């Protein structure tokens, strides 16, 4: 009985909507998306009297519109088509993907304040990704869906890319990782033949990349949950930057002695590529307290206004840059036969405090930048 009453209620609601003719839909789609045709057919059959306007993102102007809408909604993944529903001239909901008729019935019945954003879960079911309550965001989304001209955010993609590359370079010169890697090179060089030593060092570098990438993916999943979490990550990085300056002034170690002992033991056992890989994983994981501030900043920015593909691609590039100095050292020592390991290790150890000072000041500046950037997305 309840199911029948629910069906009648939905039918009545739809009939009233159709009679009033107050529902209009503004859609971002692509002429190259064959499945989008069938996906749009569902909503057009559901609202036969609705007004429909479709923007083809193959057009440059509409692609800009799509990019800004995607950044404003700030969801990890927004499949095409992206459908906005207006009722009496006001934006009521945004839905993305191949949603079924049953999904639309459920979305119509789910009335909340603000604008609900639904995403297809891959089975035609609607998942409530988020609720947008910021009036400024809603007003801008309405403007864009209704045909307003798209414009770049205060900090465009080019600025974000430059920032990410800068943070990656700061992370790459981290004296914590370089110091342990130089110990590894020195140890395996004297205890193994050159070919095995090179393979072991390469395995260590690959393990560092692999571990950091997995950790980064995990944190990005957390950061994608809300704007506030990303903002707090930037605040935490700012605090850690200040802590680095205090550590410079006080001359304290940044890594607990127990962690240093574990890393050293792993490096001493790294007599082959397999053990080198294990040592790299352990080292990358345990020096988080030393290397996490710039990484958190990068992850916070990478997860802002980006989808899954963009975020993971940027994360991949970031970590390639971070391990580049390790790979460069391998080439210099084992391929070019340059005997600079001990001198470089001595140089790093004697200037470590000053490197930390530069990193601390840089972290503070970059954290402030990210917090201002994040403020654009806080609802």
CATH homologous superfamily of 2-145 = Glutaredoxin (3.40.30.10)
Output the 3-class SS for 155-220.
CCHHHHHHHHHHHHHHHHCCHHHHHHHHHHHHHHHHHCCHHHHHHHHHHHHHHHHHHHHHHHHHHH
Boundaries of every domain in the chain:
2-145, 157-374
Report the first-to-last Cα separation within the chain, whole angstroms. 41
Question: What percentage of the chain reaches a pLDDT higher than 90?
Answer: 11
Are residues 131 and 114 in contact, defined by beta-carbon separation less than 8 angstroms?
A: yes
Token digits of residue 44: 């057009």
The tens digit of pLDDT for each residue in 12-38 reads: 444 444 334 478 999 999 888 888 888
Predicted confidence at residue 258, as pLDDT, reads 64
Predicted confidence at residue 340, as pLDDT, reads 57
Please state which of the ranges 158-167, 183-192, 345-354 shows the lowest mean pLDDT: 345-354
The tens digit of pLDDT for each residue in 241-251 reads: 787 777 777 76
């Amino acid at each position: 009985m309840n199911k029948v009453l629910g069906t009648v209620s939905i039918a009545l609601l739809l009939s009233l909507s159709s009679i009033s003719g107050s529902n209009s839909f503004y859609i971002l789609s692509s002429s190259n998306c064959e499945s989008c045709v069938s996906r749009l057919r569902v909503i057009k059959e559901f609202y036969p009297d609705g007004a429909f306007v479709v923007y083809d993102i193959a057009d440059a102007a509409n692609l800009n519109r799509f990019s800004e809408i995607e950044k404003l909604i700030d969801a990890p993944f927004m499949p095409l088509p992206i459908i906005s529903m207006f009722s009496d001239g006001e934006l009521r909901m945004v839905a993305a993907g191949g949603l079924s008729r049953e999904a639309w019935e459920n979305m119509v019945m789910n009335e909340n304040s603000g604008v609900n954003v639904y995403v297809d879960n891959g089975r035609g079911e609607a998942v409530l990704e988020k609720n947008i309550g910021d009036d400024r965001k809603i007003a801008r989304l309405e403007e864009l869906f209704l045909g307003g001209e798209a414009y770049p955010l205060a900090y465009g993609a080019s600025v974000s890319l430059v920032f990410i590359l800068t943070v990656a370079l700061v992370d790459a010169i981290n004296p914590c990782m370089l110091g342990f890697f130089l110990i590894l090179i020195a140890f395996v060089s004297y205890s193994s033949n050159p070919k095995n030593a090179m393979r072991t060092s390469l395995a260590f570098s690959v393990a560092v990349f692999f571990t950091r990438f997995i950790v980064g993916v995990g944190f990005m999943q957390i950061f994608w949950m809300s704007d506030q979490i990303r903002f707090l990550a930037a605040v935490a990085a700012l605090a850690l930057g200040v802590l680095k300056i205090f550590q410079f002034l006080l001359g304290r170690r940044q890594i607990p002695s127990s962690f240093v002992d574990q890393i050293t033991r792993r490096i001493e056992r790294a007599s082959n590529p397999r053990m080198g890989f294990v040592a790299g994983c352990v080292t990358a994981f345990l020096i988080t307290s030393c290397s996490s501030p710039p990484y958190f900043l990068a992850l916070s920015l990478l997860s802002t206004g980006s989808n899954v593909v963009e975020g993971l691609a940027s994360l991949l590039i970031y970590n390639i840059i971070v391990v580049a100095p390790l790979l460069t050292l391998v080439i210099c020592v084992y391929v070019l036969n340059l005997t600079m390991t001990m001198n470089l290790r001595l140089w790093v150890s004697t200037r470590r405090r000053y490197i930390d000072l530069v990193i601390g000041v840089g972290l503070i500046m970059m954290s402030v930048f990210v917090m201002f950037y994040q403020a654009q997305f806080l609802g």
